[in-house]
Amino acid sequence: MSAHPVLQVRDLRVHIRTPRGVVRAVDDVSLDVGHAQAVGVVGESGSGKSVMARAVMGLLPPRSGSSGQVLFRGRDLLSLSRKEKTEVWGKRIAMVFQDPGRSLNPVVRIERQVTEGMRRLLGLNRAEARDRALRLLREVGVPDPERRLRSYPHELSGGMRQRVMIAIALACEPELLIADEPTTALDVTVQRQILDLLRRVQRERGMSLILISHDLAVVAGRTDRVAVMYAGRLAESGSTREVFDAPRHRYTQALLETTPTLDHERHTPLRLIPGSLPDPTSPPRGCRFAARCAYAEAACDDLGPRPAAVGPDHHVACANPAHAPAAAEPPTPRTTRAVGGDSLGG
C-alpha cells in the first residue's frame, strides 16, 4: 500500500434493495489508490466493481445503503454534505463511462459539453473555456478540434466520442479519474488507442486512475496495481506485475486460464470454471468462490477468508492459495493471454 493514498476505500459495503431481496453488491472491500498511480479493478458481472466505483462517485441507486469509508485525501466522501460533494465530484474526481454515445447529450454541441464543467466549477469565461477546450481536444488526439467543437455527438465515431468524454473528464484537472469499462463498446484497434491515451494522460498529468474492466488483459499492461473482485468481495490485490506473473487466488488463476489466448491450440477445450455466481441476496458465509473452486477445503466454508499479505504489495483472500513460484527456479516463460474488446450489444 502506498504511503500517501489519494483514495482509501475502507470496509466498504453497498447493499441494494431489490424485489428479490437485498443484494450485497459490495461487501467489505478495502482498496488504496496512491498518488499518480493507475489501479485496475477486474471482475466479471456481479463482482461489484462498477458499484464500488459508483459509491466513490456518489452515484449509487436509490434504495441502496452503504457503510464503511471512502476517504479522498483523508475526507470521507460518504459523509460529506451536498455542497461539499459538489466541490469534489467532477472537479477533483471525474469519471468516464462505458458508452460514450449515451453519456453525451445528443442535442448539444461538443463545445458546450466540454466547457460546461469548467465554466461552472472553475468560473472561466467563454473565451477562456473555449481555449482550454481546444487544448484538451488536442491533448486527447481529436483531429481538427475547431471543427469538432461545432459538431454534435452523432457526427463523431465511437472512438472520437470516447476521446471527447475523456476531455470532459479532464477539463477541471481532476486528481483522480475513474474509467468504468471505457473501451468495452469499442473496436479492438480503437480500444487500443483509448487505452494508450488513458495511460499517457495519467502519466503526463501525474493523475491517479482507476481502470475498471471485465478483461484482465485490458488492465495488465496499463496499471501499476490491480484488484480482482468476485461476487462483491476482493479476491486478490497487489502490484500488477505480481498478480499477473504469480496469481495466488484460485479465482484469478482460473480466470486467466479460461480466457482464450492468441496462442491457444485450436479445437482444444478451454479451461472451464464450473457452476455460476452465488445468489447475490444470500451469498455463502465463507469464500464466495468455494463452490466453483477445484481447491476448496473445509476451511473455505468458514467465515472469511480475510485478505492476507503474501508479498510486499500482494494480498490474497484465499484459504488455500496457489503456491508462489520458487525463487530458485528459472522464471517460466510468460504466456500471453489476450481477448478483444467485448462489445456488449454492439
Partner 1 sequence: MLSEAIPLAGSGTAHLRGEDVLLGVQDLVVEYPGRAGTVQAVSKVSFDVLPGETLGIVGESGCGKSTTGRAVLRLERLTAGRITFAGEPLEQAGERRMRTLRRDMQMIFQDPLGSLNPRRPVKDIVVEGLALAGAPADERAAVSADVLAQVGLSGDRFPGMLPRQLSGGQAQRVAIARALALHPRLLICDEPVSALDVSVQAQILNLIEDLKAQHDLTVVFIAHDLGVVRAVSDNVLVMYLGKVCEFADAEQLYDTPAHPYTRALLDSVPLTDPDRGFAGPALEGDVPSPLSPPRGCRFRTRCPLARERCAAEEPQIREVRPGRYAACHFPLPEAP
**Cell 472451464, residue?**
272
| Distance from C-alpha of 103 to C-alpha of 162, rounded to nearest angstrom | 9
User: Cell triple for residue 238?
Assistant: 497487489
> Binding to partner 1 by residue 83, rule CB under 8 A?
no
Of 91 and 225, which has the nearer Cβ to partner 1?
A: 225
**Do 69 and 256 touch, CB atoms closer than 8 A?**
no
Residues 207-226 that bind partner 1 (CB under 8 A): 214-218, 220-222
State the number of binding residues for partner 1 (CB under 8 A).
58
Give min distance, CB of 334 to partner 1, in A.
Answer: 6
| Distance from C-alpha of 118 to C-alpha of 134, rounded to nearest angstrom | 13
> Binding to partner 1 by residue 344, rule CB under 8 A?
yes
Binding mask 225-264 for partner 1 (x = CB under 8 A): ---------------xx--xx--------xxx-xxxxxxx
Give min distance, CB of 274 to partner 1, in A.
Answer: 8
Residues 31-60 that bind partner 1 (CB under 8 A): 44-45
The one-letter amino acid code at 19 reads P
Give min distance, CB of 311 to partner 1, in A.
Answer: 14
Number of other residues whose CB lies within 10 A of the CB of residue 185 = 24
Q: Strand 93-96 to strand 308-311: parallel, antiparallel, or no bridges (unpaired)?
A: unpaired
> Binding to partner 1 by residue 334, rule CB under 8 A?
yes
From residue 60, how far is each of 63, 84, 110, 199, 214 by CA, in Å? 9, 17, 27, 27, 20
Query: Residues in the site for partner 1, rule: CB under 8 A?
Result: 44-45, 157-160, 187-193, 195-196, 214-218, 220-222, 240-241, 244-245, 254-256, 258-264, 266-273, 276, 334, 336-346
